[in-house]
């Protein structure tokens, strides 16, 4: 039995992203495409997003332009590829507060949001520091933090303090403290509903950018190689990666990095008329394919 359908939906991309940021260490090794995407889950009476993308206006647009983002499309158009509207979304897990993951929470009026308490607390702290410390709040839009506070006032934001099982049926969250961001979290889906699941998927947020973070580049000498962007430490990133990989029995494909362009080659996929990838990870019982 499969409880949830899973899709990864590209909504924009950086066509030439420095590989040395995706994989810490190797310099002068060129660029790769870095899709911007979020995951859509449907099942158990819920329509769930893992992250929201961003809204291509105001400071969100400034950040996107500064990073070379192109081919942006908003959630109404992107979700429609799976027959979903922003109003249909009931729950959203925010893996971390960077603009491309939390920058569109205001576009989902009926959703409840889940975010790590440590993430919100520390972003407020980082934003209170002087301009010389602005690296510590880089990649974030202060307006997104304000919107998160608004959602809390409306009773639509739940702050999670650490790991928690069954936030929703079969869905657990795990704090990866002081890694890519202060309170990054990853989301585990046990898609057969079993505690000792044989059908487990992990949504890694930006704890990894590419499968290469879990394998290294030498197939004869595999290793964990962290991403090249952290306000925490590479040490913490490595051990978070080990935990994720161990949780799925070492099956790399079950740790989903939404910035990985090779998802389209790993799972069934299709290219939309807008030039965006729809990647189908799993189909719940009775669900029809959105890529065939």
245 phi and psi angles, rounded to 5 deg: -65, -40
- Report the distance separating Cα 63 and Cα 84, nearest Å: 27
Mean pLDDT by 10 residues, the chain (292 residues): 97 96 85 97 98 97 97 98 98 98 98 98 96 95 97 97 98 98 98 96 98 96 96 97 98 98 98 98 96 94
**DSSP letter at 147?**
H
User: Hey, what domains does the chain have and what are their CATH numbers?
Assistant: 5-175+257-282 (3.60.15.10)
Helices (H), the chain: 19-22, 58-67, 75-80, 99-102, 117-127, 142-153, 212-215, 234-247, 263-266
- Tokens, residue 135: 């690296």
Eight-state DSSP code of residue 54: B
Q: Which of 261, 279, 269 is nearest to 13 (CA)?
A: 261
Determine the Cα–Cα distance for residues 16 and 30; give it in Å rounded to an integer. 8
Task: Report the alpha-carbon distance of residue 64 to residue 98 in Å, rounded.
Answer: 11
* Res 184: pLDDT: 98
Assign residue 58 a region (left: φ > 0; alpha: ψ between -120 and 50; beta: otherwise). left
Nearest to 72 by CA among 98, 95, 106, 100: 100
pLDDT for position 25:
81
CA atoms within 13 A on the CB side of 284: 18
CA distance 261 to 33: 7
Helix (H) or strand (E) segment spanning residue 29: none
What secondary structure does DSSP assign to 76-142, as a single string? HHHHHTTT--GGG--EEE-S--SHHHHBTGGG-TT-EEEEEHHHHHHHHHHHTS-GGGGGGGTT--H
Cβ–Cβ < 8 Å for 222, 169: no
| Distance (Å, whole) CA 173 – CA 205 | 11
């Amino acid at each position: 039995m499969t409880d949830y359908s899973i899709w990864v939906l590209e909504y924009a991309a950086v066509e030439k992203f420095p590989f040395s940021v995706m994989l810490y260490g190797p310099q002068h090794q060129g660029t790769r495409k870095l899709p911007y995407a979020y995951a859509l889950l449907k099942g158990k009476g819920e329509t769930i997003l893992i992250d929201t993308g961003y809204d291509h206006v105001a400071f969100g647009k400034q950040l996107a332009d500064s990073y070379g983002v192109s081919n942006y499309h908003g959630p109404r158009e992107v979700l429609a590829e799976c027959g979903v509207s922003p109003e249909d979304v009931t729950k959203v897990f925010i893996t971390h507060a960077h603009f491309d993951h939390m920058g569109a929470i205001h576009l989902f009026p009926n959703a409840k949001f889940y975010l790590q308490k440590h993430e919100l607390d520390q972003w407020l702290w980082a934003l209170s520091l002087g301009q010389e410390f602005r690296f510590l709040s880089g990649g974030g839009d202060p307006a997104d933090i304000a919107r998160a506070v608004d959602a809390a006032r409306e009773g639509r934001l739940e702050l999670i303090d650490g790991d928690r099982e069954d936030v929703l049926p079969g869905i657990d969250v795990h704090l990866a403290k002081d890694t890519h961001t202060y309170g990054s979290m990853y989301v585990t889906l046990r898609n057969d509903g079993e505690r000792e699941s044989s059908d487990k998927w992990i949504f890694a947020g930006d704890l990894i950018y590419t499968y290469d973070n879990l394998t290294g580049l030498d197939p004869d000498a595999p290793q964990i190689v962290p991403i090249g962007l952290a306000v925490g430490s590479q040490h913490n990133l490595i051990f978070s990666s080990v935990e994720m990989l161990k949780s799925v029995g070492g099956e790399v494909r079950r740790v989903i990095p939404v910035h990985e362009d090779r998802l389209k080659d790993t799972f069934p996929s299709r290219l939309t008329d807008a030039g965006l990838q729809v990647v189908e990870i799993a189909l719940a019982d009775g669900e029809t394919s959105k890529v065939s």
